[in-house]
Chains A and B, each alone.
Chain A
Amino acid sequence: MRRWGVVALSVVIAGSVLAAAFAQGGRQGGTLRAALDRDPPNLDPHRSTAAVDRQVFQSLYDKLVDTDENLRIIPMLATSWTISPDGKTMALKLRQGVKFHDGTPFNAEAVKYNFDRMQDPKFPSARRSEIGPIQNVVAVDSATVQIVLEKPYSPLLYVLTDRAGMMVSPAAAQKAGGNFALAPVGAGPFRFVEKIPQDHIALERTPDYWAKGQPSLDRIVYRPIIDDNARVANLKSGDVDIINIVPLPQVKQLTQEAAQTGARFKLLERGAFQWYGVWLNVTKPPFDSKLLRQAFNAAIDRSVIANVVLQGAAYPAFSFFPNGTPAYDPGWKIPSRNLPLAKEKLQAAGRPNGFAFTMLTLPGQQDQALAQAIQSMAAEAGIQMKIETIEFGAMLDTMARLQHQAGQIGWSGRPDPDFDIYPHVTQSGIGSFNFGGYTNPKVQELLDAARLLNDMSQRKRAYGEVTKILADDMPYVWTHFPKEYKLVSARVHGFVQVPDGMMRFHKVWLSP
Chain B
Amino acid sequence: MLPFLKIMVRNLLQGPSTDPFPFAPAKTPARFRGAAVHDSEKCILCGICRHVCAAGAIQLRAAEDGSGMQFMLWHNSCVYCGMCAHYCPTGALTMSDNWHLSHLGEDKYTFSEDSFVPFGECAQCGARIQPRPNVIVEKLGGRAPDQFLLCPKCKRESLVKHASDTNLSQFREKQ
Query: Do A and B associate with each other?
Result: no
Binding site for A on B (CB under 8 A): none
